[in-house]
Amino acid sequence: MHKIAFNTAVAVVIANMIGTGVFTSLGFQLAGTHSVFAIMMLWVVGGVLALCGALVYGEIGAALPQSGGEYNYLSQLYHPAIGFLSGWVSVTVGFAAPIAAASVALSKYVNKIYPSVNPVFLAVSVIVLITLIHSFNLKAGSVFQRGFTWIKVICIGMFVGFGLFYQPEHTLTITATAADWKDVFSGTFASSLIYVLYAYSGWNAAAYVAGEMENVQKALPRALILGTTVVLVIYATLNYVFLYTVPMNELEGVVEVGYVSAKHIFGPNVGQFMSLVIALLLVSTISAMILAGPRVTQSMGKHIHGLRFLAISNKNNVPFVAIMFQSIIAVALVLTSSFESLITYVSFTLNVFTFLTVAGIFVLRYRFPQIERPFKTPFYPFTPLLFLAIIFWTSWNIVTSRPIESLYGLFTVLAGLLVYFIATRTNKIIQ
């Protein structure tokens, strides 16, 4: 049986992270602050936070090395009900909504160049095509994933290189003042951090395919840490280039920030071509989520009799039913949701279970002191505590500033609790 190699696992992490957020969120951040230092600190803080999460997941994943991510971890560390709810959220929100958001962003970039292209039709078509690629053969899907991921990294490197040699007409000051530091500790910073954390989401992607990885106990922590570190460097430099090449007033509130920056760096014609390249790069993000997400759905199907159809695999051991199920939800979200509401809704809902998983490091060490831990979280307990503090801060800010999206997230969790209750009452769940 084909196994996922270390370099594919790293590619899955990088591809899950680099996508919609970094090419679309700067405009929303600039609506809250015009401090270059605060904007750059957003991306550094987000990267450090993702790295803290990756370090903790590395220990938990190496100790509990099965596919399924949070569904597997929370079921064993807390209770099967908590694991079920995290799996439910992954099935209904965690992957389907980011797939929808990435496909919508891709279509917006293409539509900027070719206004005659129907963005909704294009977004749906991309999801359908990539779903078909991943539904038949894991090896073919892995090759597709690795290829698009490294093309993405190379293209971004070229974009950054040309951007740093560009001579802008405006000046950019990154030196911090007292006002800049005040911005960093403000509620506005917390609100903007929501978009940054969304951009960094995906650092835990390799955990979802752990059961199919080669030498998982060593490879999983390394893949999580290496992939997250690479993305931190890319994000910081890429956003600096956006700010360096374009005046802030031109970026504020704009979704297609990459397109605007490319126009300044390369001129209108080449800028349009680079916009198409960025759209192509988003294919890698969509592909990575279509590859990783169904492994959670498949794990749920193996444990819940009523959802056993989701665990069905083809002769190549690919969970094609789970892949199709996830993509149907993604297409439905493309047809019914706005881009900004999708990001906020996803961020709040996923933060709940990421918070519980990282907190689970304390449960793991207390309840299972004798379990083999091939990897231990550096700087424990500071690493998980820093992660938990910032996630709580941003989640509380979402509740107070975006109550509607928070309620949608809460209703999603409650709906999963109802499904679990019904399944438990009818003995449909294998404990």
Token pair 């800049």 is at which residue?
A: 180
Residue at 301 is within a domain:
yes
The predicted pLDDT at position 215 comes to: 72
**400/48 Cα distance (integer angstroms):** 25
Supply the CATH number for residue 325's domain.
Answer: 1.20.1740.10
The predicted pLDDT at position 140 comes to: 61
The predicted pLDDT at position 20 comes to: 66
The predicted pLDDT at position 209 comes to: 63
Residue at 429 is within a domain:
no
Enumerate the H helices of 64-118 as residue ranges. 70-77, 80-89, 96-113
Residue ranges of the chain whose pLDDT lies below 70: 1-4, 19-20, 67-68, 137-142, 144-146, 148-149, 205-213, 216, 303-307, 339-340, 423-431
Contact yes or no for 229/221 (Cβ under 8 A): no
The predicted pLDDT at position 423 comes to: 67
The predicted pLDDT at position 431 comes to: 45
How many Cα neighbours within 13 Å face the side chain of 257? 28
Contact yes or no for 326/290 (Cβ under 8 A): yes
Paired tokens of 33:
């602050």
Residue at 238 is within a domain:
yes
Residue at 196 is within a domain:
yes
Q: What is the pTM of this model?
A: 0.74
Number of domains in the chain: 1
Three-state SS at 213: strand
Residue at 334 is within a domain:
yes
**35/237 Cα distance (integer angstroms):** 16
Q: Per-residue pLDDT tens for 36-95?
A: 888 889 888 988 898 898 889 888 888 887 766 787 888 889 988 898 888 788 777 778
Q: Per-residue pLDDT tens for 225-236?
A: 888 888 888 888
Residue at 1 is within a domain:
no
Token pair 């916009």 is at which residue?
A: 275
Residue 116's φ and ψ, nearest 5 degrees, are -75, -15
Residue at 332 is within a domain:
yes
Residue at 430 is within a domain:
no
**144/146 Cα distance (integer angstroms):** 6
Range of the domain at 106: 6-424
The predicted pLDDT at position 261 comes to: 87
**180/6 Cα distance (integer angstroms):** 41
Three-state SS at 327: helix
